[in-house]
Amino acid sequence: MSRMVNCVKLGKEAEGLERATYPGELGKKIFENVSKEAWQMWVGQQTMLINENRLSPIDPQHRSFLEKEMEKFFFGEGSTPPEGFMPEK
């Protein structure tokens, strides 16, 4: 049976992640409060941030930036779109 969580991003009960997807306290908080659907939304946002800002996941400064954006995406005011980003209509 699927594990259910009260997803902070979607604002409803939804299927939870099967395992922690990020290390440390932030990973624990995500595992307990973020649904699979919301995690996939973050993966898309993260991919856009990496591509548009030309980030390297192995650069410690870039990883720190992405972690801060992930925390904002799930638990804050939302992740900041790249400069000049125009969403599709």
- Predicted confidence (pLDDT) per residue in 49-63, tens digit: 999 999 998 999 999
Go through the domains of the chain in sequence order and give each one's CATH number: 4-75 (1.10.3880.10)
The two beta strands, 4-7 and 12-15, are antiparallel
- Name the H helices within 1-89: 24-33, 36-52, 60-75
Compute φ and ψ for 9, nearest 5 degrees: -80, -45
Q: Of 4-8, 33-37, 75-79, which gets the smallest average pLDDT?
A: 75-79
The most distant pair of C-alpha atoms in the chain lies apart, rounded to whole Å, by: 43
Share of the chain above pLDDT 90, in %: 81
How far apart are the C-alpha atoms of 68 and 55, rounded to whole Å? 14
